[in-house]
């Protein structure tokens, strides 16, 4: 995405320079009759005219000061038509300058200079210049207005694309942050609990301490595996990326093992699997897996629970996920106010909303804490 941002401005500069070069060629070729045809003015006057042509065409290549360049182009063009006997195509240069100014987002300035071009030409016509009649003046006004409009459309399109890229980059950063939080937060929380258990039981119950250390080893291995798989999407295309199946409903049962090692009695149940063999959409299965993973992490860290029930119901149009525990529930905030949801809960809600579903948390009907998520299939079914 960053490469596209760098390439697009460069492409825009090349386009503007190509337009300026094309107009300069047209102006030069159309003005050659002043030096190769019959003489209608002194050579000094012709030299002044060509100097003005160089100034006008050169101003089209000035990018840092587009307003000043447009003003110089218009003024020099006006001086040229007043002092030169030859009526060349120089007028198209300030019209292009107006377009370039509008494409930089300077709509009011471009409109003002466009009005100056039309008014100046009209004054020349009224003063007795027979080369521009009323019809030509009307057509000139139409061309100038059209170039201002085209320049503004180009600017608006660039602004829209830049905003779309900015939003896409923000969404991508949020998605990566959510994945890293879910992967590392769950495993590190379990490692922290198991390390505390091992430290507490090291002298009084060496067997339990050894079991906790074994759980730490297994959990850390799983954390590294998932972290490598998640970071793989950030690698460049020419690097070797580790591949592994995206976790889904079929791996939810694996989450119970580390939680049990932390002292929880975990019961899992997956209902509603039909006999068609049609898989749940990958994004739905991943969201369900991460929601269960984060919920178990919160139970281990905060709930003080002994039992947890994980229920996943797979329907024809959506997956329902419930994680209920018998702990003390969410701790209140200061002054007894409701606790502010942490990053984990916010991440779970974002996952559900991204699929068009919802997630609620709160006290369970039998006490403890309950997390309930509804994850619909985007196309209305599971095929």
What is the average pLDDT score of the chain?
Answer: 77
Give the pLDDT confidence of 34-63 residue by residue, as tens digits: 778 777 778 888 888 889 889 988 888 887
- The pair phi, psi for residue 63, each rounded to 5°, is -105, -25
3-state secondary structure at position 365: strand
Residue 8's pLDDT band (cuts 50, 70, 90) = low
The whole-number pLDDT of residue 380 equals: 47
The whole-number pLDDT of residue 359 equals: 92
The CA-based angle 217-218-223, given to 5 degrees, is 100
Left (φ > 0), alpha (ψ -120 to 50) or beta: where does 139 sit?
Answer: alpha
Give the pLDDT confidence of 115-173 residue by residue, as tens digits: 888 888 787 666 655 565 567 777 888 888 888 898 888 888 888 888 888 887 777 77
181 or 300, higher pLDDT: 300
Closest CA to 287 of 234, 224, 347, 223: 347
Q: List the domains of the chain with CATH numbers.
A: 2-166 (no CATH), 247-383 (3.30.565.10)
Query: H helices of 262-342, where?
Result: 282-298
Asked whether residue 381 carries a pLDDT value surpassing 50, the answer given is no
How far CA 46 is from CA of 14, 35, 37, 133, 286, in Å, comes to 32, 8, 12, 25, 76
Q: Which pTM does this prediction carry?
A: 0.47
**For the chain, how long is the longest CA-to-CA vector?**
114
Distance CA 103, CA 60 (A): 13
% of the chain at pLDDT higher than 90? 3
The whole-number pLDDT of residue 12 equals: 61
């Amino acid at each position: 995405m960053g490469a596209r941002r760098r390439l697009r401005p460069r492409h825009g500069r090349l386009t503007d320079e190509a337009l300026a070069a094309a107009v300069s060629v047209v102006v030069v070729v159309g003005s050659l009759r002043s030096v190769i045809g019959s003489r209608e003015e002194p050579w000094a006057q012709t030299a002044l005219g060509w100097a003005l042509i160089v100034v006008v065409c050169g101003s089209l290549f000035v990018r840092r000061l587009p307003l000043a360049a447009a003003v110089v182009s218009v003024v020099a063009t006006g001086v040229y038509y007043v002092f030169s006997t030859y009526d060349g195509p120089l007028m198209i240069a300030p019209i292009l300058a107006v377009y370039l100014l509008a494409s930089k987002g300077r709509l009011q300035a471009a409109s003002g200079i466009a009005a100056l071009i039309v008014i100046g030409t009209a004054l020349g016509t009224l003063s007795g210049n027979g080369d521009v009649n009323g019809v030509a003046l009307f057509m000139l006004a139409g061309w100038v207005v059209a170039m201002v409009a085209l320049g503004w459309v180009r600017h608006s399109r660039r602004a829209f694309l830049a905003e779309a890229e900015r939003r896409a980059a923000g969404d991508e950063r949020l998605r990566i942050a959510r994945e890293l939080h879910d992967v590392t937060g769950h495993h590190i929380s379990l490692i922290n609990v198991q390390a505390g258990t091992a430290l507490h039981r090291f002298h009084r119950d060496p067997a339990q301490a050894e079991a906790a250390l074994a759980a730490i080893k297994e959990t850390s291995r799983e954390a590294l595996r998932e972290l490598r798989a998640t970071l793989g999407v950030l690698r460049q295309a020419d690097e070797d990326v580790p591949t592994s199946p995206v976790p889904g409903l079929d791996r939810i049962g694996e989450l119970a093992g580390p939680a049990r090692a932390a002292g929880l009695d975990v019961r899992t149940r997956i209902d509603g699997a039909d006999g068609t063999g049609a898989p749940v959409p990958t994004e739905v299965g991943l969201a369900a897996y991460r929601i269960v993973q984060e919920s178990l992490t919160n139970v281990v860290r905060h709930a003080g629970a002994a039992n947890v029930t994980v229920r996943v119901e797979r329907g024809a149009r959506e997956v329902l996920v419930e994680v209920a525990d018998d702990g003390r529930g969410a701790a209140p905030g200061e002054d007894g106010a409701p606790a502010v949801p942490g990053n984990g809960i916010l991440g779970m809600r974002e996952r559900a909303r991204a699929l068009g579903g919802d997630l609620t948390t709160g006290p369970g009907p039998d006490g403890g804490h309950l997390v309930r998520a509804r994850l619909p299939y985007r196309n209305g079914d599971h095929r």
